[in-house]
Chain A
Amino acid sequence: MRSSDERPLCRLEDIPDGRARGFLPVNRDDRVFVVRRGDRIRAYVNSCPHNWRPLDYAQDQFLSADGREIVCYAHGAHFSIDSGACIAGVCIGASLIPVPARVDNGMILIPLELPHTPE
């Protein structure tokens, strides 16, 4: 069941397995992105803790080519898909801001209110 303080993003199968997709654009930047691996998803605010800017260089380009890590395509920081922790690059030790996401009846849901971003 979807509660009134949640919003649907898309169906699970709308994100190809092993890929990521951006959502909720403001101007030309998506505010949130979701990574799918099988039935599991992880969602993060599309803002890199290095300069608090979006990570992608083109639509839905949030991952390394092998799909194993999140990459910030501003200055090349790498992040763990599972934890959001920066594991290589300029903001090592910092973390992406997670968005609590769940799948309900095949639909990806996130809270209406997104976590606060420092800048």
Chain B
Amino acid sequence: MKILGPDALVFGVDDLDACYRYLTDYGLKKVDSAPSGARFEALDGTAAVVRRASDPGLPPPISAAPNIRDQIYGVADQPTLDAIGAELSKDRDVKAGGDGVLRSVDDTGYAIGFQVTQRRKIDAPRYINVPGMELHRPVNVIAAVDNGPTPIYSLSHVVLFAPDIERAEKFYAQRLGFRTADVFTNLGPFMRPAGTLEHHTLFLIKAPKPGLQHFTFHVADLNDMLRAGWNFVKKGYKSFWGPGRHILGSNNFWYFNSPFGGLMEFDCDMDLHDDSWKPRYIPASAQTSQTYLFQFAEKWAPGDQKH
């Protein structure tokens, strides 16, 4: 099944304006705004959708608001969509909405939807030069400029708590063809659907109650991640963890508390894998969670006061 990854995540929130501000400050672009909520897009059209938690149009909540209410997966084509519909309707309700989204629910109770992907092709500029590599950033183009908001490229992954972790993983593996890339043995599996090479678009974490753990969009590279995080701190948002670099997936990370019921992360440069990859099974700890970790510091320079 050629599922590419989430096209959109939908949140039921209790403070629309705060969420709008947050996503705008994060760098997403507001499109389709209505009194009941709004859609915020990355460059490729993947999105975070914010709705009032009380909106009757949302699937029922499985945790206290604010929290995640729906996940809309993008799939490669109509045959994939039909195959998903046939598979899931074996043992659960599947509804085709007027919006082209096939809606159902996973084995934890999270609402899931599927649509022929609406991702737009993006042309990313090349801006890193490495000795010996062909020229990427052209001559006379300056790298260290803080030219406004950091571009947010694409919705990357969502991380969900699951009380029955084996059952949760089995559903995505056996019913939807997700691969397990790696496993934190004391937390749960990193999973990628068959239509992407990304290390994970879904990470499931064992916990007593379901709910959002975090979600993130990809930015271009480490420089953009640090710049985005720096600006985010300066706007008053509270850092939870980072910046650092994970080991499983290699993605650079910086997590922030958010008004969506889970953390929101800036992420970049995740590993890619195909089916020849063999999952690693390791326990999560401070040592195994990151190659390095830094913390935000105020600007400073030697002799700043003296010249």
Task: Write the residues of chain A forming the contact surface with B, with a CB cutoff of 8 angstroms.
Answer: 27-29, 53-59, 61, 64-66, 71, 73-76, 78, 88-90, 92-93
**Nearest CB in chain A: distance from B52 CB, A:** 10
- Find the residue from A53, A58, A61, A64 having the highest chain B CB count within 10 A: A58
Task: Write the residues of chain B forming the contact surface with A, with a CB cutoff of 8 angstroms.
Answer: 14-15, 18, 22, 63-67, 161, 207-209, 211-214, 233, 236-241, 256-259, 261-263, 295-296
A75 touches B213 (CB 8 A): yes
Name B's interface SS: loop
Q: Which of B64, B207, B258 is within 8 Å of A73, CB to CB?
A: B258
Q: Which of A54, A64, A92 is within 8 Å of B208, CB to CB?
A: A92
How distant is the Cα of A78 from the Cα of B237 in the complex, in angstroms? 20
- Find the residue from B238, B262, B295 having the highest chain A CB count within 10 A: B238
Q: Which of A29, A64, A66, A90 is within 8 Å of B209, CB to CB?
A: A90
A75 touches B238 (CB 8 A): no
A90 touches B237 (CB 8 A): no
B208 touches A29 (CB 8 A): no
Q: Which of A58, A74, A78, A90 is within 8 Å of B240, CB to CB?
A: A74
Which 4 A-B pairs have CB atoms at the shortest separation, nearest pair first? A76-B261, A57-B257, A65-B14, A88-B64
Q: Which of A27, A58, A78, A93 is within 8 Å of B64, CB to CB?
A: A78
Q: Which of A54, A65, A78 is within 8 Å of B238, CB to CB?
A: A54
The residue in chain B whose Cβ has the minimal distance to the Cβ of A30 is B238
21 contacts between A and B (CB under 8 A): A27-B296, A28-B238, A28-B239, A53-B240, A56-B257, A57-B257, A57-B259, A58-B238, A61-B259, A64-B14, A65-B14, A74-B257, A75-B161, A75-B261, A75-B263, A76-B211, A76-B261, A88-B64, A89-B63, A89-B211, A90-B161
